[in-house]
Structure 1
Amino acid sequence: MNLEFSFLDYAIIGAYFLIVFAIGFYFARQERSSTEYFLAGRHVGWFAVGASLFASNISTEHFIGLSGTGYVSGLATGNFEWSASICLLILGWVFVPFYLKSGVFTMPEFLERRYSSASRWYLSSVSIIAYILTKISVHLFAAGILLKQVMGWDIYTSSILLVVVTGIYTIAGGMSAVIYTELIQTFILLVGAIALTWIGLDKVGGWSELVANVPEGHFEMFKPMSDPEFPWTGVIIAPYIVGIWYWCTDQSIVQRVLAAKNIDHAKSGTVMAGFLKILPVFILVLPGLIAYALQQKGLLLPGQKISPNDVYPVMVKTLLPSGFRGLVVASLLAALMASLAAVFNSASTLMTIDVYQKFRPEASEKSLVNFGRISTVVLVAVSLLWVPLVSVLSDQLYVYLQSVQGYISPPIACVFLVGLLWPRANAKGAAVVLWTGFVLGLLRFVLEVIHKSSPFTNPFLRTLIEMNFMHFAILLFIISILLLIIVSLATERPTQEKLDGMTFAYARNVDLNEDYKIERPAHRRQNLVASAILGVMLLVLWIVFF
């Protein structure tokens, strides 16, 4: 049974769309250079940077996945959220100074500066393909589940509407429109999610009743090594490998800090996002536990079995009064559109800067902006072509697509991190690591798909395939580091040009004429204090929920 929406619900949803369009077309009216269109002119303040980092990360699959996993396994999946706070601090303190001082537009461009054009082409290609094949399809699949359950929309209606609407304001306003709509979307997303959690907790009878009605261990963040989903041996390492790739090297995330006014605002934005990433455990994972307790008490769907994917939609349908329904649906739309906009804008930036400009280095600012808009139109068209496929995706394939990041992230994280820390890392080592990691990750993915339908009997293959994906990510990261060290030492040293301003040892060898590259001592101290407070908060939370 679908929700009966009141006039107030529809008014809230309509107001949300009006605000998004107003922001998009406000920025569309302004004259655009490539820096303004792709990096919002590098004048975005820390608050907008932090909100944008958070909103571009949270999408509808978080509402489905985190609440569903919370329902089945408890809070342990929240480790990926809290580890993200640490990764955001690493982004701010380790990577941001190098990214901004180098003046790059894209992450592949940074790899070319540090290693070679081959590394740039690899990351550009993998990123664009991954955005199209995994991120867009995952976002639309998750949105289809939620909007069908909550509003009765079929997958075609919801996907086409959201892709077109998001594409319009992204094409029109560029990065400025994306970031400032994400600022509004963060507020709406948080208010909607908090409202559902608060109402659900009140319905179950408070915290003590919640604890009493969920399985023992559901509030523990660290599971035994034998746990098939969240073994502590994987949880304490793997989220940081995947996190360094996603938070510190992925274009859709890093583009937000590249748009900051200066290094200080970029760092402050990452710290703010780090604080915000504490919240999903309580507003997205915890509702899964609340749903379990409500079901145990016969207050949700008595006598019926709830699929993990249906946990959040069922709570919206069952618990929310008029007005709050529209608010939560607006928050779901905000989450999806923010993530889609991030994909569209970042992929078009890659296609323009790393492909078009490479072939046409003399291209004017106007032609770069126009090509960026055309690229976004193409991405919107491709997304619409994906809709029929998304409608037949199975839950299992959704899990496969989500696990891909665990397979492609270790080699990319390795070449970025080791490249900053170790000046001896060279282009040949990076190329070997990237391609070897790609082959090994792809091999694991293909064998896993085959194994599900026709299990292997070979002990080695079974061990490789059935190994928890977090353990596999750790193994692949170690292999990548060893390969980078061995190949780099066996081949020539990098030239001085590849090291100046690109590694910690040669960090001072860089031109600091532009204002956005300069770090101010007073702001640095403020960011240090805020980072320390965030670190203490995380430590306390991990101790409390150990």
Structure 2
Amino acid sequence: MQTLDTFDWIAISIYFAILAGIAIWVIRKKNSNTEDYFLAGRNVGWFVVGASIFASNIGSEHVVGLAGAGAGDKLPMLIYEIQAWVVLILGWVFLPFYARAGVFTMPEFLEKRFDARSRWVLSIFSIAAYVLTKISVTIYAGGIVVSALLGIDFWTGALGTVILTGIYTVLGGMRAVVYTETLQAIILVIGAAALTFIGLDEVGGWASMTETVGPEYLDMWRPMSDPNFPWAPLLIASTITGIWYWCTDQYIVQRALTARNIKEGRRGTIFGALLKLLPVFLFLIPGIIALTLKMRGELHWDSPDEAFPVLMSNLLPSGLRGLVAAGLLAALMSSLASVFNSCSTLFTVDIYKKLRPNTPEKKLVQTGQIATVFIVLIGIAWIPIMANISGVLYEYLQSVQSYIAPPITAVFLLGIFSKRINAKGAFVTLVTGLVVAALRIFMELIKDSLDPNGILFAFGDMNFLYFASWFFLFCVILIVAVSFLSKAPAYDKVENMTYQTITEEEKKNNKVSYNWVDIAVSIVIVIIVAGVMIFFNGE
């Protein structure tokens, strides 16, 4: 690792000065009510919505972890990064229902479609999921990045970044998050693109890199006999997780809900999907470049998760290295800011306001600010435990998400597409899902102490892709069975809330909210995703 020099520090300082300027400008716009604080006044344009969706998704855990997957023979994990087509499902399928319902949160939508019990379960489920998969992973990856770049110890780097991000998130709310994320997305794309181009030049181009690692290394489609990434469960599990993450998760959907209308929201998701095509080229390929240089004896790193920061510090010229370092810090901060704001929204709107419905708006904003602080502390406490679950950071993230996603995906999908699915079916599925997911994580942690021939060991040791696929099928059967064995929901619970009950007037309103350009760009995105899947087949 080369240390940063004067020009690098100048680049980082300029970036933070601009970021501070945006944060101060936003903080001065008073957040007088919950709509201002949690949804930026619902007055954001498509460009900022799309950039915010992208920046929220691409945290330092993606940068570090996806490059680590490229460097550590885990190329099948790429499928989680080419899910731009799932982002389109948010805009075209789910968003019209969310916007029509006028909701702040996803649990609030479940209450309108089902009942208050489902809202409570999803609120608690979501906050737990954020601690398990987002806050702790982002802080952990951020600590690796900051310590590697700035030459300081892991905990100082992690805590310093958390505190800095927490300050502007608490003070500025959602508006501070989306506008700073727009800058962070731009910086990250420019910096990582520079590293990819310089890296490919350094290894002698794509053909030379392929020759070193071997063409079979670039195959994301493994046979069904592969113990880690059999192709069919990989495709099924990644789609289930993708629909949960992009279409039903507060963390992402909240960005689309800040749009000033459905047209801007949908265009924001299309733009976000377009940006989502970039990570393959910006982060995965640098990981393969780092592996190539290591195999040639020109670069050294101990863990695949170190591949990106080591490559960056050794290949990039002075100044540009600082810009990419700023981009990495930006990725860390944007992800943290997003999850802090989403957690405080869930706690304030779905828990605190339900318990105290007459609380003044100003008091609700203050409650959200206090909730942020507590959630950060819980996330920091989880980091040492997280290190025991999976070897590579990115794989840990996807495995835990695979346990959380199936019940929520089943409830939202069937809830929107079928008017017969009722509150009892949704509640039973969510509760059962929460218990099974918690049990799986616990068994995975203690499986070494279990009898290798026992059923509990098999449950904890089953490949996470197979587990997610079968678990989703189980959740679908469960919600359908419970719903059909109990009373059909009242019409006011399904009116305009499912595809089977949408009125002709609403269909007309929806058609006005898009044009041929939106359709054409969406089709192009799907074609590019298919092209990437075909390209990475090792031939």
Place the TM-score, normalised by the shorter chain, in its bin: over 0.9
Cα distance in structure 1, aligned partners of 2:440 and 2:363: 42
Cα distance 1:511–1:539, how it changes in 2: closer, same or farther (>3 A)? closer
Cα distance in structure 2, aligned partners of 1:108 and 1:297: 52
Q: CA offset at residue 543 of structure 1?
A: 2.2
Which residue of the other structure, out of 512, 520, 525, is the alignment partner of 1:521? 512
CA distances 1:484-503 after superposition (whole Å, capped 9, x unpaired): 11110110110111101211
CA distances 1:194-242 after superposition (whole Å, capped 9, x unpaired): 1111111111011111111113322222111122332111222111101
The equivalent of 2:53 in structure 1 is 53
Cα distance in structure 1, aligned partners of 2:40 and 2:464: 37
- Give matches, 1:180-259, under 5 Å: 180-259=179-258
Which residue of the other structure, out of 533, 537, 540, is the alignment partner of 2:524? 533
Number of aligned residue pairs: 533
The equivalent of 1:266 in structure 2 is 265
Structure 1 unmatched runs, 5+: none
Q: Is the 8 A contact 2:452 2:458 kept in 1?
A: no
The equivalent of 2:475 in structure 1 is 480
Indicate yes or no: 2:440 matched with 1:447.
no
Q: CA offset at residue 72 of structure 1?
A: 2.2
Indicate yes or no: 2:42 matched with 1:42.
yes
CA distances 1:113-132 after superposition (whole Å, capped 9, x unpaired): 11110100001111122223
Normalising by structure 1, we get a TM-score of 0.93
Q: Is the 8 A contact 2:4 2:149 kept in 1?
A: no
Q: Is the 8 A contact 1:86 1:274 kept in 2?
A: yes
CA distances 1:464-508 after superposition (whole Å, capped 9, x unpaired): 333221111110100000011111011011011110121111122
Paired residue type of 2:64: I
Cα distance in structure 2, aligned partners of 1:69 and 1:274: 22
The equivalent of 1:8 in structure 2 is 7
Paired residue type of 1:167: G
Q: CA offset at residue 74 of structure 1?
A: 5.5
Which residue of the other structure, out of 469, 478, 481, is the alignment partner of 2:464? 469
Q: Is the 8 A contact 1:74 1:219 kept in 2?
A: no
| RMSD over aligned Cα atoms | 2.1
Moved more, 373-382 or 131-140: 373-382
Cα distance in structure 1, aligned partners of 2:238 and 2:68: 19
Indicate yes or no: 2:498 matched with 1:503.
yes
Cα distance in structure 2, aligned partners of 1:228 and 1:71: 19
Which residue of the other structure, out of 407, 415, 420, is the alignment partner of 1:419? 415
Paired residue type of 2:157: S
Cα distance in structure 1, aligned partners of 2:388 and 2:261: 43
Which residue of the other structure, out of 383, 396, 407, is the alignment partner of 1:390? 383
Paired residue type of 1:78: L
Q: Is the 8 A contact 1:238 1:471 kept in 2?
A: yes
- Give matches, 1:293-304, under 5 Å: 293-301=292-300
Indicate yes or no: 2:158 matched with 1:167.
no
Indicate yes or no: 2:485 matched with 1:490.
yes
Cα distance 1:378–1:21, how it changes in 2: closer, same or farther (>3 A)? farther
Moved more, 488-497 or 154-163: 154-163
CA distances 1:65-123 after superposition (whole Å, capped 9, x unpaired): 111111122632211111x2121011111100000010000000001111110100001
The equivalent of 2:92 in structure 1 is 93
Cα distance in structure 2, aligned partners of 1:324 and 1:454: 49
The equivalent of 1:323 in structure 2 is 319
Normalising by structure 2, we get a TM-score of 0.94
The equivalent of 2:81 in structure 1 is 81
Indicate yes or no: 2:452 matched with 1:457.
yes
Cα distance 1:4–1:155, how it changes in 2: closer, same or farther (>3 A)? closer
Q: Is the 8 A contact 1:113 1:498 kept in 2?
A: yes
